[in-house]
Structure 1
């Protein structure tokens, strides 16, 4: 009996210690900026000119973005990437949107790439707002010509932005319902929902979004299960479309690139007015 009590005591102490570590070090489980500090590719590697833009957020953090212009653009896409790597890993998006007649602003989060600061949930939301202000106030793009695009974690970021603004459309790729929901599936032996200090509640944001929404997800996603995409799609009350992709979480676009381009192009043609965007002084 004494041995059993000791085993239970040691096990209980270890479990409590694990809970404390999970609670305190959640940021290290959500953000992976060190996987892509070095910029390995730029739009020039796919034959496109671009401009490095430095934005200052409302809390005075200096972040980087790349603006890739398209000739006589129909509009502009604002891309918020996933939780690992940097904008250099997303250069193929520039080629994709260029073919569709859209300029592109690739947003780098604070603490990622060459941006200053340290990533946080409220910080990434502020980063997205700074990018929106740049497109509207400095580039002169009207809201009805701006498409918000988010992959994985970035989906939660731009969904939140779409609640406060009125973009032409919102595109979410491989995005999750919320951090607590995903954590509960990844760590079923932990009270993950109660431990979660980060929300990134994409589902709640989508309930309040009024613009057309395209959800893209793969049944083979090995990180964010397919039913997350289904739940997000069901939450959208207005105009919406769903694209089922192939491949794992980080491979979906590689496996369905042509289908992705065709479906995305069709969606944008339906929801972004024809004609060239009226752009301001820059």
Structure 2
């Protein structure tokens, strides 16, 4: 009888203490893989981009010796044009969105894959990809025939955290945030309320701590049915702005189809050019 009671007690201890500790340790160890879903390159897409946008493929070496792969796409016109810097989501390979340049005619676009994504080397982290974003911005902001008074930073999903931190460091004129969040801590807690995410998350992307100091004219786009970055997270971020942004809500759209709305690209074009 005593042995049976001891066995039951041991099982209870395991259930209460050991399993949660193992779960937390597992999430901590694999969190980078969950946050940074590194999408590989497809050579067919690269060939397509190089064919349709000659001389647009770019390689940029970071101070710590990492080669970043990206694209700088500009129309053939020699007149000065606006420039957009784009930072994608956590499962985004920018090679696949280069062709979206056709939706913003007359506007130059610069975008690079994060470390570890596509042909970019290295391993991603919040600190490193923000540093890389600043390097990319400073490298291309003075490119010939660019209107330095009309530079827009665009971030989507994970990339909004990168875009916001970059905007806090540079003098870009405009900022566009698609499906943004207030912090990765709060976003992670929405999905894993049973975990102490505040204590185990390494890449916190606390955007709400930066937006109050931004001076750029800002537009926020989100879908009201988003279940990845909930509207609550976006609305919380909006409240943190000192200079209130323009807000565009697409009804019935969720995280992965907000850009399918017929007003998505017209809204972006109008904001950049006016």
Q: TM-score, normalised by structure 1?
A: 0.86
Distance 2:60 2:238 in 1: 32
The runs of 4+ residues in structure 1 deviating greater than 6 Å are none
Alignment of 1:131 onto 2:136: yes
* Match status 1:185 vs 2:185: no
State the distance in 2 between where 1:252 and 1:133 align: 30
State the Cα deviation string for residues 184-230 of structure 1 (Å, max 9, x = none). Answer: 11101111122211111122121121111111111111211012221
1:231 partner SS: helix
Q: Distance in 2 between matches of 1:139 and 1:129?
A: 19
- 1:93 is the counterpart of 2:100: yes
Match of 1:78 in 2: 85
Question: Alpha-carbon deviation of 1:26?
Answer: 1.3
1:108 corresponds in structure 2 to 113
For 2:259, the equivalent position in structure 1 comes to 253
Between the two proteins, the alignment pairs up a number of residues equal to 265
**Matched residues in 1 for 2:155 and 2:86: separation?**
6
Structure 2 counterparts to residues 1-282 of structure 1, below 5 A: 2-11=6-15, 12-33=17-38, 35-41=39-45, 44=49, 48-49=53-54, 51-70=56-75, 71=77, 72-98=79-105, 101-139=106-144, 141=146, 143-238=148-243, 240-245=245-250, 246-254=252-260, 256=261, 258-270=262-274
Give the 3 Å change call, closer, same or farther, for CA 81–27 of structure 1 in structure 2.
Answer: same
* Cα pair distance change 1:181/1:24, threshold 3 Å: same
Residues 79 and 56 of structure 1: is their aligned pair in 2 closer, same or farther, counting only changes over 3 Å?
A: same
Alpha-carbon contact 2:228-2:255 (below 8 Å) kept? yes
- Residue 180 of structure 1 contacts residue 192 of structure 1 at CA under 8 Å; is this kept in 2? yes
* Cα separation, partners in 2 of 1:116 and 1:191, compared to 1, 3 Å: same
Displacement of 1:4 after TM fit? 4.4
Structure (1 or 2) with the larger CA radius of gyration: 2
Aligned residues of 2:142 and 2:148 also touching (Cα < 8 A)? no
The CA distance in 1 between the partners of 2:50 and 2:234, in whole Å, is 32
Q: Is the 8 A contact 1:217 1:243 kept in 2?
A: yes
Distance 1:17 1:183 in 2: 18
Q: Please give the root-mean-square deviation of Cα atoms over the aligned residues, in Å.
A: 2.1
- 1:57 and 1:45 map into 2 onto residues whose CA distance is 23
Q: 1:262 to 1:160 in 2, by over 3 A?
A: same
Maintained 8 Å contact 1:144/1:166: no
Would the alpha carbon gap of residues 131 and 240 (structure 1) be closer, same or farther in structure 2, given more than 3 Å must change? same
Task: Name the stretch that deviates more: 216-225 or 231-240.
Answer: 231-240
TM-score, normalization: structure 2? Answer: 0.89
Structure 2: tracts of 5 or more residues without a match = none
The whole-number CA distance in structure 2 between the counterparts of 1:129 and 1:19 is: 33
* Distance apart, 1:36 and its partner CA: 3.3
Distance 1:46 1:203 in 2: 41
